[in-house]
Amino acid sequence: MYPFDYHRAGNVADTLTLRASLADARFLAGGMSLLPMMKLRFASTPNIIDLRDCEELRGIEASYEVVRIGAMTRHVDVAASADVQAAIPALAKLAAGIGDPMVRARGTMGGSIANFDPAACYPAACLALGATIQTTGGDIEADEFFIGVFETALKDGELVTGAEFPIPDAAAYAKFRHPASRFALVGVFVARFGELVRVAVTGASRSGAFRWAAAEDALTESFSIRSLEGLKMDHSEMNGDIHGDNEYRAHLVEVMTRRAVLETLESAPAA
């Protein structure tokens, strides 16, 4: 690790003032993505601003229509939340399947979406549920927020404060775990709002999580696995490495989509 100065402030307003006073700095949430990179000297920063004292960034609120999750809410808290389990069980399950108990006890939702790892789980949920990402600069729709691998619409010094997830009629997240890292080799989040279906895929693409428009159209037309028959994921957009070439990843997208649809049907049969 390269040396850095460590800072923290007691609330969001003071954190932003602190940030503005420093030429170059990075926020620290759970540290599960940032710290390993710093330890390997792949990432460095002169200043770390720890968000741990920003109590207002923590917490979960559910209304009839949305679940709001504060940026500093840890994966373990989302997984264990009765509100999330009741409103969007697929989201609780997604959080419960991230990493291992140590990672879930420190990693945060805000950190996950700000980081936008191409194999991270939360971005798929944000895209499929049509979440609104709340930042200190305003609200950003998930479709506009995620730009490319490790690249989001966040501006320098802008903080994610939380995300609002619309509550679907039914949803499911099917994740095929990377055999070594246990991130998503391919993860597919399917959400149904009345007739409308949204499908988001993570892990598979060279450019991060994305919505699979053809599957959305087919499933909006008729929500059944029959609708997916013959639907092919384009190989050329897929990532390929020693754990799976692009053909395999494209195939897994099709399989995981089918499984997510089946699970969605099981959780709430289509009207």
Ligand X SMILES: Cc1cc2nc3c(=O)[nH]c(=O)nc-3n(C[C@H](O)[C@H](O)[C@H](O)COP(=O)(O)OP(=O)(O)OC[C@H]3O[C@@H](n4cnc5c(N)ncnc54)[C@H](O)[C@@H]3O)c2cc1C
159 vs 261 by CB, closer to ligand X:
159
Least distance (Å) between residue 116 CB and another protein: 17
Query: Tokens 């506009």 sit at which residue?
Result: 144
Regarding 2 and contact with another protein (CB under 8 A), the answer is: yes
Question: Residues 114, 156: contact at Cβ < 8 Å?
Answer: no
116 binds ligand X (CB under 6 A): no
CA-wise closest residue to 239 among 141, 119, 142: 119
Q: Is 265 in the site for another protein (CB under 8 A)?
A: yes
From the CB of 158, what's the least distance to another protein, in Å? Answer: 28
Among residues 80, 103, 225, 262, which is the contact residue for ligand X, using CB under 6 A? Answer: 103
* Residue 192 tokens, joined: 């149904």
Gyration radius (Cα) of the chain, Å: 18
Contact criterion met (CB below 8 Å) for 215 and 223: no
Binding piece for another protein, criterion CB under 8 A, among 71-79, 139-147, 154-162, 250-258: 250-258
**Alpha carbons 171 and 173: distance in angstroms, whole number:** 7
Bridge partners of residue 62, in order along the sequence: 67
Near ligand X by CB under 6 A, which window of 106-114, 191-199, 208-216, 240-248? 106-114
Q: Which stretch binds another protein (CB under 8 A): 11-19, 54-62, 64-72, 245-253?
A: 245-253
Q: How far is the CB of 252 from ligand X (least distance, A)?
A: 15
C-beta neighbour count of 131 within 10 angstroms: 27
Tell which positions 69-108 bind another protein, by CB under 8 A.
Answer: none
Contact flag: residue 77 with ligand X (CB under 6 A): no
Cα 164 to Cα 145: distance, rounded to the nearest angstrom: 13
Pick one of 89, 166, 245, 270: the residue that binds another protein (CB under 8 A).
245
Q: Does residue 112 touch ligand X according to CB under 6 A?
A: yes
**CA-based end-to-end distance of the chain:** 55
Q: How far apart are CA 70 and CA 180, in angstroms?
A: 30
Q: Kindly indicate which of the ranges 14-22, 58-66, 153-161, 234-242 contains the residues binding ligand X, using the contact rule CB under 6 A.
A: 153-161
We find the least distance from the C-beta atom of residue 68 to ligand X, in angstroms, to be 14
Write out the DSSP string of 188-236. EEEEEETTEEEEEEESSBTTS-EE-HHHHHHHHH--SGGGGTT----GG
201 near ligand X (CB under 6 A): no
Look at residue 111 and give the partner it binds from ligand X, another protein, none, a contact being a CB closer than 5 to 8 Å depending on partner kind: ligand X
* Residue 40 CB, nearest approach to another protein (Å): 7
